[in-house]
């Protein structure tokens, strides 16, 4: 039985790995955009790093597509944009006994110590552009 599932597992892992987007894979898809960057920006893009003044195209190569793009409604900066990158984080909930659940078992048993795990979306990076140039960003520190 396990021998029958092995090919499906290998294909599943390969599909998940192919979904991962790295600076190198994005550069390979857009080599002409990468070649148009300055040598300094090319180095930063390869490392997945940013600097003030980078173009939106350079940031796309370095960071990938944002989850959300917000257009400015401020009349002082009509060409402003905010890019949001989001990720999911697990949240462990101890709901107590007799909590409605989905699936064949409608309620948890009162003595079940297993916490319920939910996933919530969080903003992992916020980038601000004015006139197509990166002016500031907020992201967690790399350790």
Q: Which residue ranges make up each domain of the chain?
A: 22-138
Answer yes or no: are the C-beta atoms of 122 and 139 closer than 8 Å: no
The pLDDT value given to residue 18: 46
The pLDDT value given to residue 15: 46
The pLDDT value given to residue 17: 47
Residues with pLDDT less than 70, the chain: 1-20, 94-114, 142-143
pLDDT digits (tens, 9 = 90+) for 4-31: 655 555 555 544 444 568 999 999 999 9
Q: What is the C-alpha separation between 95 and 84, in angstroms, rounded?
A: 31
Return the closest-CA partner of residue 45 out of 23, 64, 67: 23
Relative orientation angle of helices 39-47 and 56-63, to the nearest 10 degrees: 30
Return the closest-CA partner of residue 57 out of 138, 129, 113: 129
């Amino acid at each position: 039985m396990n021998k029958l599932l092995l090919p499906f597992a290998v294909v599943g892992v390969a599909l998940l790995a192919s979904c991962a987007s790295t600076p190198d894979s994005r550069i390979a898809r857009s080599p002409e955009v990468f070649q148009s960057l300055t040598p300094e920006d090319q180095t930063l893009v390869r490392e997945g790093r940013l600097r003030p003044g980078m173009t939106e195209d350079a940031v796309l190569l370095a960071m990938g597509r944002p989850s959300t793009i917000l257009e400015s409604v401020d009349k002082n900066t009509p060409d402003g944009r905010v890019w949001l990158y989001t990720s999911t984080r697990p949240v462990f909930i101890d709901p107590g006994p007799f909590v409605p659940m989905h699936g064949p078992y409608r309620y948890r048993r009162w003595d079940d110590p297993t916490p319920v795990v939910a996933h919530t979306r969080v903003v992992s990076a916020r980038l601000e552009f004015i006139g197509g140039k990166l002016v500031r960003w907020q992201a967690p520190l790399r350790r």
